[in-house]
A and B are shown apart, each in its own frame.
Chain A
C-alpha cells in the first residue's frame, strides 16, 4: 500500500516550505540580501571622518530632540535653562534650537602609559552638522588665544587643547588638535569606521533612534575602575544604548558578551532583579507601570533591556517637582511661617 496522492502532496508542500524558507534565510545571511542592508546601513556621511579603531561612537538628532514634546515640557519646567543657551548663542552665533541638525561623537581607546596602565580617555571628537557662522567662531577663538592653521586644505582653529575644523560648509569638527587632524587624515585615506565590521554591525542594529551610542566595554571600564572590580564584571564586549524621544522616552540598553554562556548568566541575573523589582513596585501604581515596561530580550551573545517612560509617568515626575518647588517657596513667601518641605510629595 502506498500513500494517497493528497498525502504525498501535503508532505511535499511541507518539505518544500522548509527548504525554501531555510534557503532564503541562508541566501539572506551569506549572499545577496545582507548586501542590501549594507548599502543602506552605512550610517551618516560623517562616519567617513571617524577612525576605524574607534571604541566609542554616538549619534544624536538634535533637531528631533529640540522639537520634541518632552523637551518643550522640561523647558517650561525650568525656564532658567534657556539663559545658558542664549549666552551660548550670543558668544558663538549658534542657536542650539535651530542651527544644529545632528551630532556624531567618537573616541578611540586610550593607549596604555609607560607603566602599562590604561590612560584615561581624552575628549571625544564631535562632528556637528548644521549652520555655523565661521567668521564669528574664528573671532571668538582668536580672542581666546587660538591660532588659525591650514591642515591638508582644511582651516583649523587651534588652541592648546582644543581645535575646531571646518571640514565642509555645514560640518564642523571639535576635539583635541590631534583628534581633528586625524579625522581629516581618515577621510583622506578612506580607512574609516565603516570598515570596522564589528562596530558597524552593532550600529546597524540601533541606528533608528533619535540618539544612540555604542562603546567597547573595556574602554569604558579599564581606565576608570580598579583592576579588582573590572575582574568581577561579566565578560561584556560592547555596550550600546538607543532611544526615541517624543512626548515620552523609549529606549533600549544592549550588551554583547564574549560567549553565549555569559549572556545567559546575565539574562538570568537581570530577570531575577526585574522580578524582584516588580514585586516591590506592586504597591506603587506609577512605579509599577515603569518597572513593567522593562523588558529583557536578545539572543545568542546579545542581552537587551528595553524601557519606556510614558508621558503619564513624566507628568507624575513633573507634578512632584512642581509640588516640591511650591513647598520650598512657602517659607520665603510667608516669612515667619515654618513649613517643612516634604521632598517627593
Chain B
C-alpha cells in the first residue's frame, strides 16, 4: 500500500467539491498524481487550481469528496499531519517568515521531534546543540545550491521577489517531502530566474520529490511537466502530455483557444 508502484497513483483526488459561500470553486474534481512526475496544473483564472491545492494541503477541508495519499485517506487531516506524511505546499504569494533570517526560514522546515519541543528546549540542550550543527550544515548546503548562501543572515523580508521564490524552494528541499504542491512558483520572476527555478525543480525531482505545479506560462509547462492537468470551472477538463492536451478540443476552447 505504501509503496506506490508504477501505475498506482501517489495522490488521488476523488469527486472533491468546495464552495466559498455561494461560489462553487471546485465541483466533482478528480485527478491522480503519480510518483516521480512533475505534474502541471493549468487552467484559466478561477478554475479552482489554488482551491484544489489548499484542499490537498489541508488549509481547506473540502465539502465533499475524498483525498488519498499513498493509500491513506487524508481528507480531514490538519496541514501539519499531512506534512508529516510527506505533503508540502507553497503559496501563491510568497509567504516567508519575514522577521526571521533566510537561514532560519530554511531551518524551520525541520520535522518536529523531541528536540523541537518545550521539554527539549529546557532539558536537552546538549543534544540540541549537536542536532543544530548537523541541521545548520545541511541548511547551508541547500542555501548554497540556491545561491542564497551569502544572504543567509538577511531577514527574509529584505529579499527581492525572485529571491523569495528561491527561498521557498530551499525551504521545501529542507523539508524533503514526498510530494510538493507549488502554487505558481514562478509568478513574477524574470525569464532567466524562471529557467533556473525550472532546473532546480528537475534537480529536486531527481532527488525524489514529486511535484504538482500551478503555472500559467505554457512554454514553461511544455518544457518542464511530464503530464498536464487542465482545470476549468472547478473540475478537471483533460489530462495527458502537453501535446495531447494541445489537441483536445474542449481544452482549446476553454483555454488554449485564446492563446496566440
Partners in one complex: no
Which B residues are closer than 8 A to A by beta carbons?
none
